[in-house]
Every structure is written in C-alpha cells, then in structure tokens.
Structure 1
Amino acid sequence: MNLSDMLSYADIGQLSKIAGAYRCECNGNSKNELIQSILSEISRHDVLENQISSMRLEDLRFLNSLLFESRQSYSLEDLVARVQQSRFGEVKQASTEEPAKKTKKSKKKPTLPPEPPSPRDIIVQFKHQGWLFNGFSGPGRYLFQVPNDLKSRFRETLRRKFAEQLHYTDEPPMYRDEQGLLQSDIKQLLHYVYHNEVQLVTDGSMYKRNLQQMLDRMGVQEELPSKGAWRFGYGRHFNHYPDRFSLMYDYCRSAGYISETADGWLSITDAGKERLEKPATAMEQVHLYRYWLKLYKTPVVNLLSLVHWIHALAADWVTIASLKDVFVPFIKTYYYDDAHAILEARLLKMMMHLGLLRIGEDPVHGTVVRMTKAGNAVLEGTVSGE
C-alpha cells in the first residue's frame, strides 16, 4: 500500500503524532485534514531531504535495510534485530572509551556518552514520522510495513545524496569484462569431473592436484589460497578454493550438477551431464546472481541493498575510491574482512566475475567500475528465456 492508503487506516492518535513530527498546521480533530496536511508536507522534496540529512548513520543503515527487499511486512522482532545490526558496535566502542585523566585540581566525574535510543524507540520514531505502519486487523496488526511510494522516494533521495559524493570519469583505456566466462567455466568444471576420477579429502575438498588442473582450465585464472590464511563464511570449501572457483563449485553442487559421494569421490550427475551438453542460457546468469546473494548475505548482511546502489550509481564509469567514501560506513566488518575488503573483494570483484560489472584502470583516477548491459538486465529483472 501507499502512504495515503495507510494514513486512511490509521487512527486519529497516530495521525496526530505524525502531524506533530511534520509541524502540520491543521484541525487536529479532523482526520481528513490531518491526512491532507501530512501528505502535503511529506510530498515536499526539501522535507524528506532535510530529514534524511539530519539522520544518524545507524538510523540511515536501518532505513537502507528496508528499501530493496521484495517482502512487504516485518515483525517487531525482525525490526529490532535490524536496528541492532545497524549499530556496528559504535555504542559499545563509545561506552568503552577511556575517560579523560583527572588533574589534581579537578574533581569532576568523567562525562559518559549519552545512552543511545533503544531499538524500540527507533521503531516508534519511524512510526511517528509516517515511515512505518502497523497492520490494522487480524494477525497482520502485529506486522509493520513501509509505504511503497515512500520506499521509492527514499531510494531516489538517497541516490541523489550519494551521487553528489561520487567521482565520475571517462571510459578508461583498459577494463575487464567477464560476461559469459563464469558460465563457460562451469562447463569446464563439469567436463573435468566427467572425464577424470576426482577423489576428495576427508573434509570434502579436492586434492590440490585435481584442483590445480581444474583451475588451469578456467577462462579466469586464480591462485590457490595462501597457506594459513583465515578464510571462511563465503562457501563450503572457501578455505581451500579461490573466491570465484568456490562460488562456481558451490553453485554446481546446489544445482545438482555434481555430488560428493559417501565414499569420498566427486561425480557428475545426470543433470550435470545434461548441462554439459547444452549451451549456457541467459537465465543461468540470473540463477548464479541469486545464488551468490544467498551465499554471501550472511557475512554481508546488507548485500542486496549494496548491489542495488551500485546498479543505481554506476551507470557511468565511477571511481572505487569515491564509492568507498560513500559505502564503507554502511558495511559491517566480518571477522578478518574489513569494510574496504568486503566492498572490493566480496562485492565489486564478484559482481565482475558474475558479468554484472566492468572494472577498469584510469591513469589518473585509479580503479573505476561500470555496470554492464547484462548486469542492468539482471538487476532490473528483464532477463527472459531458459
């Protein structure tokens, strides 16, 4: 539903609180006047822009987590968890800072940082601004929704805000474009498994000899992970396999093209043989993209929104340095991966491997990126055909 629909279902008490948040001047006893005044205020671009500009970073992260999902409703517990995830440990860091050293003459107690609003307080604040609404009857009254038209306006307002901070350039003299290569290398992997006996180690990974032979066949060359490197969270055998190959292997296993047998062998399935005989389809790129989102969304909790922002902001060549300035504050560190590494290696580089993004080198501005036509089609949902 849109904002006007949700306002019409709201009671006069909630309408009064929303009107108060926007300082509407109207008859507070008239539901119709309250609704019209609220719609009039919220429809102004400067009002929404000013509100977003004055938001704290953690509240912006919370808002961002609600903007790109297809789901329409959220439980209170889900919203509370999202608010907590949006804080990235800043509250803990603030409370553990060492107090200033006292001088002999000073008897003042160290000033403690103010207590942050609780997650429920943030949710109530969003309700009072007309950004979140409860359901109105039945089981749905315990669920929350964001008005669809407000979602669109939030996305557009934030897009303009982010774009102002980005540095766009001309096409670089050199760039990498891997459209179609991942699908071709899936065929190489299946071909190798079909024609070779591939025994597995007790932990389920391949012996290095077989793995290296597979990697040598790939259209995109990758090195084996360095010995002793901390690698986990991005796939079943991510500690043994390079990033791109790890994704490809897990996808093939998930799609039922290969199987790890109980007696320790890797074998190709009937579905894998069928895939080996057929050319790649346009929809396979969509399936790979969706599988990547599913695999990476646990370590990168706001992966979906980050991908959509790259799609919205990289229609032209843009520097990675300026993308970092905008998006690193929205990325939560994952163990040994800091926000910079997650943006470059887990997001931009993998989007290139998926054929969604080109990555180039500008002699003046450094590394730059741009969406591909195929990437735009995948993100916009216009890919068709099997």
Structure 2
Amino acid sequence: MNVMEVLLSLPQKDLQNLLETMKVDSNVRSRQHCIELIIRSLSNHEERYNRYRRFSKGEQQLVTQMSFDLRDCVNRYELQGFLTPGERAGFSNTLRALENGGWFFKIGRDTWTMPEELKQRVRKWLLAIIEEERVIIPGDQDASLSIIDDLYTFMDCVEEKGFILTKQKTLRKNDLAKLQQSFTVRESLPEEQWRFGYGRHFYHYPNRFSLLYDVCFDEGWIRESNSLEVDSPRWIEAQKLSVTSVLTRVLQTYLNQYRRAIPKLPFIFKLLYHLLKTSNTAVSEEGIIKTVSPFIEPYYYDDVEAIIRERILTMLRDMHVFHIVQIGNEQFYCLSALQRKSTPFSIKNFS
C-alpha cells in the first residue's frame, strides 16, 4: 500500500491523533488538509533519516525487517516475531512509538502496515549508511566450487568404505581425520569444550564438514545405522542435480540448522544480499558487523561478533555465496561470481 492509500483508509480521528503525536498542527478539521500535512511531514527525508539513525534496537529491528517484507500488512504476533527475544518485553512500547512517529499505521482490528514509499526509503538508507564501508574491486573472482567437490568426495568415501559409527552415531576420529585429508578444504578436528546449536553432530565435527554432513543426511542421501550408509536410489537421483540446485540445498540446510541459534538468520541473509548486490564493490567486515549486530543476540559462549564472523560470514564464504577480498589488513566481502551471475539462491522462501 502506498502512503495515500493508507491515509485514506484511516478515520478522521486517527488522522488528527497522528498529527498530534507527530507534533504537527492537530486543530485541522478538514480531512484533506490532515492528509496533506501528514504527507508533508512524512516527506521530510532528512528529518526521518536522522530519526531512523537514532532508533532504539527494537525500533530498528521492526522498521528494517518490515521494509523487506513483501506483505501489505502484518498482525501483532508477526510483528513481535521480528524482534529478538531480548527486545520482546518492550514490544508494546516500541510499536506505540512507531505508530506515533508515522512509521507504522494500524489498519483493521489488529494489523499494521508500512507504506511502500517508506519501505523503499529505508532500504536506500541502509545502502547509504554502508557506503562509507564500500570499496571498488576488480570484476574477476575465484570461481572454484570446493564445497561441491568435497560433498561428492564425502559421498564417494561413504559408498566405498561404509564407515563404522560410534554409539553416538558419529564418525570415529581417525576416520574423520582421514576424510579431511581427502577434501579440498581441510579442517582441524574441534577441541572446544562446548559445541552445540549449529548442526546434528556439531559437537564432534568441524564447522564446514558438519554442514556438509547435515546436507547429505537431511536430503536422505546417507543414513545412520551401525555404519554410515549411502541411500543409493536417492543419491543416484541427486547426482542429476545442477550445481545451482545443490548449492541451494546447502544454503537451505544452513539456514534451517543455524537459525536455531540465530533466529533472525533468514532476514540477515536478505539484508546482506541487499548490501552486497552492487556490482564490482565490496563492503568491509567491520561495516557488515555494525549493520548486522542489532539483529543478533549472544548464544551461550558465542558473542555477537563471533556469531557474525564465524557462523555467518565464514559459512557463507564456504558456501560460495560470498567472496573475500583482502586489502591490507582488512577483509571486504562481495557476492561471489556465481551468485552475481545467476542469483542461484532464492531468498524469498526464507522468512
């Protein structure tokens, strides 16, 4: 809905209340004049941009996520779901402040909308805010697909060797170490005292391999018995999939597994895609951390920065969604060549 449609749907009393809370002349009697004054206030881009920059964490979460939502309106429970758990106690006050400021408009009994013009403006502001963290980069990038190579290597090894599993249904350490030697990207076995929340056997397996294992298990290509076995009919069909289809399944598995610890991960993925979609540019790691931090809360021993660096940026790089550019001592991120060329990963299905 655009601004005019929203305002025309509101009763006169609501229009006058809005004028009052927005600190505009509230003694206006004409409906048309009320609407003109509200539109004039909403069109003050500089004032509204400065207000957006001063938002509380809860206000920023609601407005930014709503700006990417394709629906005309959402109900109270859907809005509350936009907030991270730590911000939900203040939901009613946050929502009231956004209504009073002319960001959200209540239409119907228990639904709210954000005008399309305002959604577009917020998305532009996000690009403007990150602009100072952006650099120009060459167009050519490494087009390797090591995660696909290693997935096929893993499946071949399981098919050939049928690894015996432990009582916890995990690979034995010596088998896991030998597997790592076969991969294009090799990882050390985890030594942390705590590892949970990011996958089926995350406690036992290193990060990248844990995701590969979860993809194969969730797709039904492998099954756990006394030994690890290949489901031959399913794997035969899987080998007919395109590279794009396999990468999409990897991303789907990642979002499903990691959103348990990072509830806003699907939105964060959409946000990062929006920030990095400009051709031949990359955004600094620090700039990404600053932009994404409001949508993340610590998860046990993982603080916010660790989650962004290790659980999001590194994993998206390993899945060939992002490409890293090193400039001096600083890392910059851009969309990978494959992602930019064909946009293989549908983000509209993740919410």
Is the shorter-chain TM-score for this pair beyond 0.5, marking a shared fold? yes
Kindly provide the amino acid, as one letter, of the partner of residue 254 in structure 2.
W
- Shift in CA distance, 32/255, structure 1 to aligned 2, threshold 3 Å: farther
Matched, 1:274 2:237: yes
Matched, 1:323 2:256: no
C-alpha distance in structure 1 between counterparts of 2:24 and 2:305, whole Å? 43
- Shift in CA distance, 43/286, structure 1 to aligned 2, threshold 3 Å: farther
1:107 corresponds in structure 2 to none
Kindly provide the amino acid, as one letter, of the partner of residue 135 in structure 2.
Y
1:342, distance to aligned residue in structure 2 (A): 0.9
3-state SS in 2 of match to 1:190: helix
Residues 60 and 294, structure 2, Cα contact 8 Å, conserved in 1: no
1:13 corresponds in structure 2 to 13
- Shift in CA distance, 123/288, structure 1 to aligned 2, threshold 3 Å: same
Residues 178 and 353, structure 1, Cα contact 8 Å, conserved in 2: no
C-alpha distance in structure 1 between counterparts of 2:241 and 2:181, whole Å? 21
Residues 76 and 143, structure 1, Cα contact 8 Å, conserved in 2: yes
1:75 corresponds in structure 2 to 75
2:185 corresponds in structure 1 to 220
**Correspondence for 1:124 among 64, 89, 96:** 96
C-alpha distance in structure 2 between counterparts of 1:72 and 1:212, whole Å? 52
- Shift in CA distance, 35/204, structure 1 to aligned 2, threshold 3 Å: farther
Compare 16-25 and 242-251 and name the one that shifted more.
Answer: 16-25
Residues 199 and 210, structure 2, Cα contact 8 Å, conserved in 1: yes
Residues 163 and 313, structure 1, Cα contact 8 Å, conserved in 2: no
Residues 177 and 352, structure 1, Cα contact 8 Å, conserved in 2: no
**Correspondence for 1:159 among 94, 112, 127:** 127
**Correspondence for 2:193 among 229, 233, 250:** 229
Kindly provide the amino acid, as one letter, of the partner of residue 17 in structure 1.
N
Kindly provide the amino acid, as one letter, of the partner of residue 130 in structure 1.
G
1:133 corresponds in structure 2 to 105
1:232, distance to aligned residue in structure 2 (A): 0.8
1:177, distance to aligned residue in structure 2 (A): 4.5
C-alpha distance in structure 2 between counterparts of 1:154 and 1:268, whole Å? 48
Matched, 1:366 2:334: no
**Correspondence for 1:255 among 219, 222, 226:** 219
C-alpha distance in structure 2 between counterparts of 1:37 and 1:380, whole Å? 43
C-alpha distance in structure 1 between counterparts of 2:265 and 2:83, whole Å? 16
2:85 corresponds in structure 1 to 85
Kindly provide the amino acid, as one letter, of the partner of residue 209 in structure 1.
N
- Shift in CA distance, 71/286, structure 1 to aligned 2, threshold 3 Å: farther
- Shift in CA distance, 44/191, structure 1 to aligned 2, threshold 3 Å: same
C-alpha distance in structure 1 between counterparts of 2:171 and 2:84, whole Å? 39
Compare 374-383 and 61-70 and name the one that shifted more.
Answer: 374-383
Deviations 1:244-290 (A, max 9, x none): 111111112111211223xx3322111113224x3643233223223
C-alpha distance in structure 1 between counterparts of 2:223 and 2:65, whole Å? 36
C-alpha distance in structure 1 between counterparts of 2:227 and 2:143, whole Å? 31
Kindly provide the amino acid, as one letter, of the partner of residue 295 in structure 1.
Q
The two structures have a TM-score, normalised by structure 2, of 0.85
C-alpha distance in structure 1 between counterparts of 2:208 and 2:116, whole Å? 36
1:336, distance to aligned residue in structure 2 (A): 0.9
C-alpha distance in structure 1 between counterparts of 2:16 and 2:23, whole Å? 10
**Correspondence for 2:339 among 366, 369, 375:** 375
Residues 58 and 94, structure 2, Cα contact 8 Å, conserved in 1: no
Report how many residues are paired: 343
What is the root-mean-square deviation of aligned Cα atoms in Å?
A: 3.1
1:42 corresponds in structure 2 to 42
2:207 corresponds in structure 1 to 243
1:179, distance to aligned residue in structure 2 (A): 4.5
C-alpha distance in structure 1 between counterparts of 2:234 and 2:48, whole Å? 52
- Shift in CA distance, 224/372, structure 1 to aligned 2, threshold 3 Å: same
Deviations 1:2-28 (A, max 9, x none): 333222222222222323344444873
1:209 corresponds in structure 2 to 174
1:329, distance to aligned residue in structure 2 (A): 4.7
Kindly provide the amino acid, as one letter, of the partner of residue 371 in structure 1.
L
- Taking only the aligned residue pairs, the percentage that are identical comes to 23
From the CA coordinates, give the structure whose radius of gyration is larger.
1
1:313 corresponds in structure 2 to 275
1:57, distance to aligned residue in structure 2 (A): 3.3
Deviations 1:160-193 (A, max 9, x none): 12333x2536569xx9947522222221122112
Task: Name stretches of at least 5 consecutive residues in structure 2 with no aligned partner.
Answer: none
1:92 corresponds in structure 2 to none
C-alpha distance in structure 1 between counterparts of 2:303 and 2:142, whole Å? 26
- Shift in CA distance, 8/362, structure 1 to aligned 2, threshold 3 Å: same
2:60 corresponds in structure 1 to 60
Kindly provide the amino acid, as one letter, of the partner of residue 300 in structure 1.
I
C-alpha distance in structure 1 between counterparts of 2:302 and 2:213, whole Å? 22
2:115 corresponds in structure 1 to 147
Kindly provide the amino acid, as one letter, of the partner of residue 304 in structure 1.
P
**Correspondence for 1:194 among 156, 159, 164:** 159
Deviations 1:91-138 (A, max 9, x none): xxxxxxxxxxxxxxxxxxxxxxxxxx93212112222233323442xx
1:111 corresponds in structure 2 to none
Residues 73 and 111, structure 2, Cα contact 8 Å, conserved in 1: yes
Task: Name stretches of at least 5 consecutive residues in structure 1 with no aligned partner.
Answer: 89-116
C-alpha distance in structure 2 between counterparts of 1:284 and 1:148, whole Å? 35
1:289 corresponds in structure 2 to 251
- Shift in CA distance, 289/67, structure 1 to aligned 2, threshold 3 Å: farther
Compare 125-134 and 70-79 and name the one that shifted more.
Answer: 70-79
1:49, distance to aligned residue in structure 2 (A): 0.6
Matched, 1:168 2:135: yes
